[in-house]
Amino acid sequence: MKTNRILLFIGILLSLSSFYFVKEAIYTVDESKFITYQVDPENMDLQLYWKDDQGQNFRNFKNLKAKLEKKDKDLVFAMNGGMYLKDRSPQGLYIEKGELKKSMNNKDSDYGNFYMKPNGVFYITDSKVPVVCETSKLKKLDGIEYATQSGPMLLIEGKLHPQFIKGSKNLHIRNGVGILPNGQVLFAMSKEKVNFYDFATFFKQNDCKNALYLDGFVSRMYLPSKNWNQQDGNFGVIIGVTE
């Protein structure tokens, strides 16, 4: 009788353990809480913007849109593209049209999301291939047309950043970028405040292998095709798609 009770107890523990791990494995987030835009760099005009022809910071989508219209270009999508310093200069690596505008930031610090290592770089090669990778793995800048450094990485080879905590109360509007299995770029911004764990999970649900956090409560997106028309803000780098 005692042996049977022990076996029954072990069976219950195994059942509970199995339930726990299955529950963890199928953890998902509600994708309706995010607004997204998918870009094929080979067939769409995706660029990074910082300053206009007079050397003035664009600062927001409204100014960028107006400047582009003077060049007969229509802005169809825009999103802030990485962290910046007080003077609105990029906090880390920035390359525009093949020109190095700001060098890589390899500093260590306990302050700020940018330094939550590993951080990373989103870049597009001169052959229109988009990449998100850890900063430490980007050894050469040759052949890069556009690049912006930010942090932390959201996904690293399919795994969530090790410092993210499920259920964290660190909630903000957040935006980021990931690379889809088909090689296209997935831009996303939360419509409501989310933590890092859930934001990274969103990209994982969409089968991204690597994804990068761009910024937090300052995040904005301009996407009139989805009736999302935020044109305010005061940014450094802006990511834009034109027609």
pLDDT tens digits, 97-125: 999 999 999 999 988 999 999 999 999 99
Which residue, chain included where needed, has tokens 């509970």? 16
Look at phi and psi of residue 83 and say left if phi exceeds 0, alpha if psi is from -120 to 50, else beta.
beta
- Cis peptide bond N-terminal to 224, omega within 30: no
Question: What pTM was estimated for this model as a whole?
Answer: 0.89
Please give the structure tokens belonging to residue 77.
């999508």
Between the alpha carbon of residue 160 and those of residues 18, 112, 212, the distances in Å are 22, 19, 11
Number of Cβ atoms within 10 Å of the Cβ of 60: 19
Please report how many Cα atoms fall inside a 13 Å half-sphere around the Cα of residue 47, on the Cβ side: 16
- Among candidate residues 122, 121, 125, 120, the one with its CA nearest the CA of residue 144: 125
Contact 151, 119 (CB under 8 A): yes
Please report how many Cα atoms fall inside a 13 Å half-sphere around the Cα of residue 170, on the Cβ side: 13
| Statement: residue 19 has pLDDT above 50 | no
pLDDT tens digits, 212-231: 999 998 999 999 999 999 99
CA distance 203 to 182: 14
Could you say which DSSP state residue 115 is in? Answer: G
CA R_g for the chain: 21
The backbone torsions φ and ψ at residue 228, rounded to the nearest 5 degrees and listed phi first, read -115, 105
pLDDT score of 110: 84
| Statement: residue 12 has pLDDT above 60 | no
